Chain A
Amino acid sequence: MFVARSIAADHKDLIHDVSYDFHGRRMATCSSDQSVKVWDKSDNGEWHCTASWKTHSGSVWRVTWAHPEFGQVLASCSFDRTAAVWEEIVGESNDKQRGLSHWIKRTTLVDSRTSVTDVKFAPKHMGLVLATCSADGVVRIYEAPDVMNLSQWSLQHEISCKLSCSCISWNPSSSRAHPPMIAVGSDDNNVTYSGKVQIYEYNENTRKYAKAETLMTVTDPVHDIAFAPNLGRSFHVLAIATKDVRIFKLIPLRRENATSSGPTKFEVQVMAQFDSHNSQVWRVSWNITSTLLASSGDDGCVRLWKANYMDNWKCTGILRGDGSPVNGSSGQGTALSAVGSAGAQSQNSVVGAASAGRYFFPHLDPPRAGSRLALLLPPPSLIEPTCETDHTHAHQPPQIRRRYTPALPTQPAEHD
């Protein structure tokens, strides 16, 4: 992996969240500077800020996009105890020429009496539905009954979780077999011995959300939670950021009788548990097909996790700031930064080379330190003599490929 581009976000305080839109052509950033910025990607891959405005009167924790079926709609939540919904309107033509867009506030959701810690749109098959959670322990579910009029939102449900809430995640499954479901995580430090993840399920008969499950094994504060895309499976997969990264499998149990109106019961299994961050984990998130999970922790690293075809999970890559302290085992990274600019590109690609396949199979001998290690193939007619490579390569990261020097057209002249 390599840094392809750096975007000057120009927020005047900490960035708390960055959110891609559904197609990955736009992104929104939010910050403690109380503003939200919207960025558009041009055809050449550059990002341009097309809107920046003050959204709240406190730190903006999260920003999220609604599905494009509902138009260009954003929701934000803040320390100022509110959440807000924003809609882009097509402005005057000269605005468009200047590359600017207009966002107007459609509603402010003021029901919380404490900081609103997370905001998430429900899966689109449920309509335009928005959930918030707050430090006072309440999950609120709002709905815009008329998708053409986003200024009217009604508070449909208030779920009292009895614990300060930090994060929510909707189950994305659109299968008829799965009623709407939302998982709530709590970072409550005051209550020690209770499950910090609760799962609520919508009941058609009572038209209410009822608690279906509490993950009793998760007793440490939870900071983030993420359902994986369902992939047509009967069970659900939930990733949790707590003192480590955990992946749970929730298998719905067959109801005893079909008419039973109680919530679904689940068999809960731990699929994986990683403590490589060695510390508090703050964020977890799945990629589109849930083949990769990313997590970020107190160690200042983003770690990427992947399961092979036999469901063995591995850390396949680490992203880390070059300013953060080196932690023992990954000395490889520092060697990289020492490489001069001419070699930087190839070094980067070497890292990329290594990352793709690493996680694939369970048993593998660790690479031995030393020069011959990862040199792959001498393209016979192409490589330079390798006799002196031993010491020159000794301080470099392991290389997968041998390098070759292309024959310069001028060289063979002496034999003529």
Chain B
Amino acid sequence: MEEVDVEPTTTLIPGVGLKQKHVGFEWGPGDILVYETNFKLQGAGSGGPGFPFVHVVRKDEDIYSPILRKLFNESHHIFVGLQNIKDDMPSKNKKPQFVSVSKNYRSVIRACMEELQQVAVSTQDTSLVAQYSNQVSILLAIELIWNLCEVLFIDAAPAGILLLHLLDWVRLHKADVDEKVREVLQSESPTHHHAYWEVVISFVLQGRMDEARQILMKQANLQPASRPIYQLMDSLLQKMPIFNPGSTQTLTEFDVKWRHWHEECDRYLQDNSFASNRHLETICKILVGDEDTMLEHKELLGTWYHFLVSRLLFFHPTVKPSELHYYAQSSMDMFLDSRSAPEPLDSILLAAFEFDLHQVIKDCSIALNNWWFVAHLTDLLDHCKLLQSHNLHFGSNLREFLVLEYASGLFSHHSLWQLAVDYFDHCPEFGRVYLELQIERVPLETERKALKVLRICEQRQMNEQVRSICKIMAKRALSNNRLGSALSWSIRAKDAAFATLISERFLQDYCTRGSFSDLDLIDNLGPAMLLSDRLTFLGKYREFHRLYGEMRFTEAAKLLLSLMTAKIAPRSFWMTLLTDALPLLEQKEVIFSVDQTHELMFCLEELTSDNSETKPERPAQDEDIESTKLELLRLALARNLAMAIVKEGTVEA
């Protein structure tokens, strides 16, 4: 079941394993905690010395690099754009789009690489330099592989154009020629510069004939005696046919023309036209595709894949995609000496030349330390429908697996997690579940952040997460005694029990302080008031106070009475309500009608009959105050009743 392949890497934890042999651990959001312990201990403490450290082990450091963060941000835009390319568009029209997406990804990599390089140069800290250098070399490798995949898979150029693309690829990644030529040209005597011929040959190997000719001209001008052979070489270089996809020329016509030129070069070589100048003879040998001569310039080629492309240029410029793998393998074998094994990058490029996509993705996953590359490349290849056509039945699974891995990594970062949301959105099988599991773990340090997370959940109808976030915030606000915030969060969470509890707290606060806090919130509850009975009461009771404050006594009185008769007010609060009625009863004009006064009296009796049964053991002093209050109320009610009868009788009459 368990396959042994690569030995997993070991990370050493300093200072652990000296006293005890076990290592305890705990998973965290982006890290894992480890500590020294002894699991065998089952009794009392060891009594030994302390075990002082808990170590935070982190998985991925790239995510914390501010420059790579740009890579993540920018590629996120490209990714989202790619997902929005319509499926129903004919695939013919899509290819240029995919190629341009691929180029966009690569330009983001390039920009990032350049920035890293600049920072590396200007940094003094050696360990930082090493880190940046590492990242640059990784990005270079990524860009190189990506570019080749773009040529071979996405653009999928046919014979003829294929070689042109491969030449561009080699030129882009072997740019040291340009540096060298600048150096040569800037020297006092370019033609005598030690690197003069290296530059010329490098240009020829890359098929940059015009540039090679320009440099050669300098030499020719200085040596009038050998001018004829320079001119001969110049014309050979000038005449070299280059396939032009824009013209009407067919591939066969080009091939005939090329062969003709090739034979001409060969003729000059055979009749020793260049025998007097070994440099020109070397160039001529390259032109006829002499592999040994090319291999003598290994250091100018640098890599086997440069050799491959140069070899094709001068030997088989109309190479078909299906023939590539043969040339690639043999070029690699010829270029690398027998004792050195190919490196991961070599195998990856070779797999690409063999059109083995699966192998490319597999090897990249193993050799590279981040999921960024494989996730984005695989996603793009999947959009190009390349994974199916290569008979990988698990096409979409592979893409989703890699995208999920990448996005999960982003989620452990304090700000990048927002990018991950879009990646999860585009994973049809597990994206939603992953998002649910990850997003509820996002720390809600501030209300603002909580609202941000909440909005993401609401947009996706993630009701359980919405409820949970609101509930956490409500609970936290309550324990910090921020009642208003707690109430509004629990209303958002639609948590009736909690809203009841907080309303209760509001009412208690009112009873002790005689005023409400968070008036804005309570005044504007609206329909949210109906969430719980107690909340309804709180809202209505506050409304009563408002009406009273605005001197709208009749309405206030009606509301107050209805709070009791409709059983909205809890029984425990009735005495407070009746006491609130006192000033209304004491007003000069009659506010409570006869019927209303009767109802008030009925409420009071109901309350006192209850009280006498349920609360027998009250302190005597309280009892006194209570009975005085009752007397006052009864008196006020009786007086109001009398006045109301008189008033109502008068009006009727």
Listed residue (B34, B430, B433, B438) with the most chain A CB atoms within 10 angstroms of its CB: B34
A337 and B6 alpha carbons, distance in the complex (Å)? 21
Known: A14-B48, A90-B481, A333-B12. A346 touches B130 (CB 8 A): yes
A68 and B475 contact, CB distance less than 8 A: yes
A2 CB contact (under 8 Å) in B30, B43, B57, B130: B57
| A33 in contact (CB, < 8 A) | yes
| B623 in contact (CB, < 8 A) | no
B window 351-380: CB within 8 A of A: 362, 364-371, 374
Listed residue (A275, A292, A324, A363) with the most chain B CB atoms within 10 angstroms of its CB: A324
1/0 per residue, CB under 8 A from A, across B1-42: the answer is 111011111111111111011111111111111111111011
* Nearest chain B residue, comparing its CB with the CB of A345: B127
Complex contacts, B26 vs chain A, CB 8 Å: 17-20, 27, 285
Known: A19-B26, A317-B11, A374-B343. A357 touches B130 (CB 8 A): no
1/0 per residue, CB under 8 A from B, across A357-391: the answer is 11111111111101011111111111100000000
B41 CB contact (under 8 Å) in A14, A291, A372, A408: A14
A353 and B130 alpha carbons, distance in the complex (Å)? 14
Known: A4-B31, A59-B44, A406-B129. A296 touches B25 (CB 8 A): yes
A292 and B412 alpha carbons, distance in the complex (Å)? 14
B441 CB contact (under 8 Å) in A288, A367, A378: A288
Complex contacts, B458 vs chain A, CB 8 Å: none
B15 and A1 contact, CB distance less than 8 A: no
| A253 in contact (CB, < 8 A) | no
| B138 in contact (CB, < 8 A) | yes
Q: Whole-angstrom distance from the CB of B454 to the nearest CB of chain A?
A: 15
Give the interface size bracket for A toward B: 35 or more
A374 and B343 alpha carbons, distance in the complex (Å)? 6
Known: A3-B11, A15-B37, A115-B42. A309 touches B24 (CB 8 A): no
1/0 per residue, CB under 8 A from A, across B37-65: the answer is 11101111111101111111111110000
Complex contacts, A303 vs chain B, CB 8 Å: 8
Known: A288-B441, A324-B17, A352-B59. A317 touches B365 (CB 8 A): no
Q: Whole-angstrom distance from the CB of B332 to the nearest CB of chain A?
A: 13
B475 and A71 contact, CB distance less than 8 A: yes
* Nearest chain B residue, comparing its CB with the CB of A294: B25
| A11 in contact (CB, < 8 A) | yes
B window 112-140: CB within 8 A of A: 117, 120-121, 126-134, 136-138, 140
* Nearest chain B residue, comparing its CB with the CB of A397: B9
| A231 in contact (CB, < 8 A) | yes
Complex contacts, A5 vs chain B, CB 8 Å: 55-56
| A216 in contact (CB, < 8 A) | no
A380 CB contact (under 8 Å) in B13, B54, B174, B362: B174
B17 and A322 contact, CB distance less than 8 A: yes
A317 and B127 contact, CB distance less than 8 A: no
A window 1-59: CB within 8 A of B: 1-20, 22-25, 27, 29, 31-34, 58-59
A353 and B59 alpha carbons, distance in the complex (Å)? 10
B437 and A357 contact, CB distance less than 8 A: no
Known: A18-B54, A79-B44, A378-B302. A356 touches B368 (CB 8 A): yes
| A210 in contact (CB, < 8 A) | no
A8 and B140 contact, CB distance less than 8 A: no
A288 and B24 contact, CB distance less than 8 A: no
| B397 in contact (CB, < 8 A) | yes
| B108 in contact (CB, < 8 A) | no
A329 and B173 alpha carbons, distance in the complex (Å)? 38
Q: Whole-angstrom distance from the CB of B360 to the nearest CB of chain A?
A: 11
A357 and B50 contact, CB distance less than 8 A: no
A342 and B20 alpha carbons, distance in the complex (Å)? 30
B443 CB contact (under 8 Å) in A24, A315, A350, A409: A24
Complex contacts, B38 vs chain A, CB 8 Å: 14
Complex contacts, A378 vs chain B, CB 8 Å: 302-303
Complex contacts, B345 vs chain A, CB 8 Å: 376-377
| A261 in contact (CB, < 8 A) | no
A416 and B182 alpha carbons, distance in the complex (Å)? 12
A404 CB contact (under 8 Å) in B54, B137, B366: B137
| B405 in contact (CB, < 8 A) | yes
B2 CB contact (under 8 Å) in A25, A273, A289: A273
Listed residue (B12, B175, B445, B480) with the most chain A CB atoms within 10 angstroms of its CB: B12
Complex contacts, B35 vs chain A, CB 8 Å: 9, 15, 18, 29
B472 and A69 contact, CB distance less than 8 A: yes
Complex contacts, A360 vs chain B, CB 8 Å: 362, 365-366
Complex contacts, A301 vs chain B, CB 8 Å: 10, 23
Q: How many A-B residue pairs have CB under 8 A?
A: 423
Known: A15-B36, A90-B481, A289-B437. A404 touches B133 (CB 8 A): yes
Known: A352-B59, A363-B5, A372-B341. A379 touches B43 (CB 8 A): no
A324 and B20 alpha carbons, distance in the complex (Å)? 9
| B157 in contact (CB, < 8 A) | no
| B401 in contact (CB, < 8 A) | yes
B367 and A374 contact, CB distance less than 8 A: yes
B side interface size, CB within 8 A = 130
Complex contacts, A321 vs chain B, CB 8 Å: 12-13, 15-18, 23, 36
B126 CB contact (under 8 Å) in A13, A14, A342, A365: A342
| A193 in contact (CB, < 8 A) | no
B52 CB contact (under 8 Å) in A8, A289, A342, A412: A8
A352 and B14 alpha carbons, distance in the complex (Å)? 17
Complex contacts, B365 vs chain A, CB 8 Å: 356-357, 360-361
A window 221-248: CB within 8 A of B: 223, 229, 231-232
B57 CB contact (under 8 Å) in A319, A402, A409: A319
A317 CB contact (under 8 Å) in B5, B9, B137, B397: B9
1/0 per residue, CB under 8 A from B, across A68-83: the answer is 1111100000010000
A window 296-324: CB within 8 A of B: 296, 298, 300-304, 308-310, 312-324
Complex contacts, B475 vs chain A, CB 8 Å: 68-71
Known: A59-B44, A148-B501, A318-B9. A379 touches B137 (CB 8 A): yes
Q: Whole-angstrom distance from the CB of A157 to the nearest CB of chain B?
A: 24
Complex contacts, A292 vs chain B, CB 8 Å: 27
B9 and A332 contact, CB distance less than 8 A: yes
* Nearest chain A residue, comparing its CB with the CB of B340: A372
B13 CB contact (under 8 Å) in A3, A20, A373: A3
A369 and B214 alpha carbons, distance in the complex (Å)? 47
* Nearest chain B residue, comparing its CB with the CB of A325: B17
A291 and B405 contact, CB distance less than 8 A: yes
Q: Whole-angstrom distance from the CB of A27 to the nearest CB of chain B?
A: 7
A362 and B3 contact, CB distance less than 8 A: yes
Complex contacts, B501 vs chain A, CB 8 Å: 148
Complex contacts, B370 vs chain A, CB 8 Å: 356
Known: A336-B12, A337-B12. A361 touches B366 (CB 8 A): yes
Query: A-side interface residues toward B, CB under 8 Å?
Result: 1-20, 22-25, 27, 29, 31-34, 58-59, 68-72, 79, 88-90, 115, 124, 148, 174, 223, 229, 231-232, 272-276, 282-283, 285-289, 291-292, 294, 296, 298, 300-304, 308-310, 312-324, 329-330, 332-333, 336-337, 342-346, 349-368, 370, 372-383, 400-409, 412, 415-416
* Listed A/B pairs (28) with beta-carbon separation below 8 Å: A9-B51, A13-B47, A13-B50, A15-B36, A27-B54, A29-B35, A31-B45, A69-B468, A69-B471, A71-B476, A231-B437, A272-B2, A273-B2, A285-B27, A300-B23, A302-B32, A319-B25, A321-B18, A322-B14, A322-B16, A330-B10, A337-B12, A342-B126, A357-B365, A358-B6, A376-B138, A380-B176, A382-B140
Query: B-side interface residues toward A, CB under 8 Å?
Result: 1-3, 5-18, 20-39, 41-48, 50-61, 117, 120-121, 126-134, 136-138, 140-141, 144, 173-176, 179, 183, 186-187, 302-303, 340-341, 343-345, 362, 364-371, 374, 394, 397-398, 400-401, 404-405, 408, 430, 432-434, 437-438, 440-445, 464, 468, 471-472, 475-476, 479-481, 501
Known pairs A329-B7, A380-B176. 9 more at Cβ < 8 A? A6-B53, A174-B464, A320-B10, A323-B16, A323-B18, A349-B61, A349-B131, A366-B5, A400-B344
